[in-house]
Structure 1
Amino acid sequence: MEKELIKKMILNCLKQYYSTESMPIGEKDLEDLINRILLVKVEEPKADLHEIINDTVYEFLTG
């Protein structure tokens, strides 16, 4: 799976919560999110990627 695609999807997901100027995520957190998403996708190959990303970003923001 393409990490750049997932990164772009994460950033698009974050836009629904924050404006682009005030995104609460650094490069390390972004890399951690990408790795978490890839892990879930490997564990659940039939899961929808959009749902995985939305759930992971929500957990990151509320956790």
Structure 2
Amino acid sequence: MEKKLILKMIKNCFKQYYSEIDSLPMSSSDLETLVERIIQIKVEQPAVDLYEAVNDTVYEFLTG
């Protein structure tokens, strides 16, 4: 799976929640953890839409 695409999707998702900031409110290690979690979800559940997996994972990160 293309990590660059997932990173771009994560950044776009964060922009929905934080439209007024220029950088992500997380460290690079947190970002890498999110990418790996999304890849893991897609491997375990291939039928899940990538967009849904990204949005769910970012939401979980923000709320948990």
TM-score (norm. length: structure 1): 0.93
* Count of residues paired in the alignment: 63
**Deviation beyond 2 Å, 4+ runs, structure 1:** 19-23
Counterpart in the other structure of 1:11:
11
Structure 1 residue 23, shift from structure 2 partner: 2.7
**Counterparts of 2:36 and 2:24, CA distance in 1:** 19
Residue in 2 aligned with 1:45?
A: 46
Q: Which runs of 5+ in 2 are unaligned?
A: none
Gaps of 5+ in 1: none
Where does residue 61 of structure 1 map in the other structure?
62
Per-residue CA deviation, residues 1-22 of structure 1 (Å, 9 max, x unaligned), is: 1001100000000001113325
TM-score normalised over the length of structure 2: 0.92
